[in-house]
Amino acid sequence: MREFESPPLRHNPFIPVVAHATDPIRYSLRDLRPLSMSVVAPGSADLLLFNGLLSRYHYLGHRNMVGENLRYLVRDRHGRPVACALFGSAAWKCADRDTFLGWDRAARERNLQGLTNNTRFLVLPWVEVAHLASHVPGLIARRIRADWQAKYGHPVHALETFVDRDRFRGTSSTTGITHRETS
């Protein structure tokens, strides 16, 4: 078993570091369930933790979001954070997506608010749980419509994500989500 090693710091100096455990979590998914997933509320202690985790451990770091967004903090049955997910406004223009959906400019302008983009997804680096990275997006996909409706007064009908194919295979984001791979 390897011990957790912190990645090179990409910490945003404007986001405070919140103390958190980094003890290895190496169990089966079944042993961690049920997972709890909470929408991170503005001004909450969870927001400080969420922002700190993404800022410190996500390879792209983290900055404040502009526009509509939802943050999810996922905990195991013992209350330990295991993953973070951030959804924001969909990309204004994405030729592959627009072609796949059959959208011209007018259709995109009418329908774009019905999409959200998974801008950050992070399984914490000390968490080694097979299938967790597939399970969490499926849980989110089943609830995000209602959460978005509650926060913004309109639902989302589809989720989009972009995978850096040089870093990841993208296999965890395919569970239960219709997708099309682009080059």
CATH number at residue 41: 3.40.630.30
Residue 13: what pLDDT? Answer: 66
Q: How many domains does the chain have?
A: 1
Residue 13, in any domain of the structure:
no
Q: Is the pLDDT assigned to residue 178 strictly greater than 70?
A: no
Residue 80, in any domain of the structure:
yes
Domain encompassing residue 58: 29-163
Q: Is the pLDDT assigned to residue 103 strictly greater than 60?
A: yes
The pLDDT tens digits for 118-174 are 999 999 999 999 999 999 999 999 999 999 999 999 999 989 876 665 665 555 544
Residue 56, in any domain of the structure:
yes
- What are the beta bridge partners of residue 62? none
Q: Is the pLDDT assigned to residue 175 strictly greater than 70?
A: no
Position 8 confidence tier, pLDDT thresholds 50, 70, 90:
low
Residue 137: what pLDDT? Answer: 93
Residue 66: what pLDDT? Answer: 73
Q: What is the mean pLDDT of the chain?
A: 84
The number of CA neighbours under 13 Å toward the Cβ of 33 is 9
The pLDDT tens digits for 63-80 are 777 789 999 999 999 999
Q: Is the pLDDT assigned to residue 100 strictly greater than 60?
A: yes
Q: Is the pLDDT assigned to residue 177 strictly greater than 50?
A: no
Q: Is the pLDDT assigned to residue 7 strictly greater than 80?
A: no
Residue 16, in any domain of the structure:
no
Residue 92: what pLDDT? Answer: 87
Residue 69: what pLDDT? Answer: 94
- Alpha-carbon distance of 48 to 50, in angstroms, equals 6
Here the tokens at position 39 are 């929408």
Residue 182, in any domain of the structure:
no
